[in-house]
Amino acid sequence: MKLFEERKFNIPKLEGISEKAIEIHLKLYAGYVKNVNELLQEKEYNRRFPFEFDGMRMHEYYFAQLEGGSTPLTTESPLSRAGLELVKFKAMALTRGVGWATIYYDPASKQLLNAWVDEHHLGILTGLAPILVLDMWEHAYFTDYTPAEKQKYVDAFFANLNWQVCEKNFLEASGSKG
């Protein structure tokens, strides 16, 4: 059985998200990778596997979006023209509770869909490719912000977002060439 390797991310100094917050968050991600590998090696199926696996994958999307520094999203980009609804996305991110605000691409209906993922394995939309993910679990922002300051965290995330990564996710999912 092939085991998974912890990815290393080249995340620059971020505006509004501290190095300590990223360091703590990366340790959590490393734990997901470790747990996935341990569960793969067990002789019997463990119901915890989907939670650990999806936690690993969602964090890989999240951290990849912060690599390389902030880049703008142009109105002419294929992702913008596909009907990206950031106002609804940000409002969803600020709702009560923990989880992931996610924008998916649905290849069957050829559209972008906003969805909330409660726990890593609850709420994933089957067959859809994540384009943009925002971690709204407390560990993502408690080092820098209180629960009442979630808006500041969301703003900081978008200030540091590398839209080229999201654009690449969209182009791969939609089969577009750009």
Per-residue model confidence as pLDDT tens digits over 96-148: 889 999 999 999 999 999 999 988 777 787 788 999 999 999 999 999 999 99
Higher-confidence residue: 166 or 124?
Answer: 166
Burial class (CB in 10 A: 0-12, 13-18, 19+), 174: buried
User: How many Cα atoms are found within 13 Å in the side-chain-facing hemisphere of 117?
Assistant: 26
The per-residue pLDDT for 125 is 78
Give domain limits for the chain. Answer: 18-178
Q: For all residues of the chain together, what is the average pLDDT? A: 94
Nearest to 125 by CA among 112, 140, 138, 139: 112
The per-residue pLDDT for 47 is 86
Q: What is the pTM of this model?
A: 0.90
158 token code pair: 């978008």
CATH topology of domain 18-178: minor pseudopilin epsh fold (3.55.40)
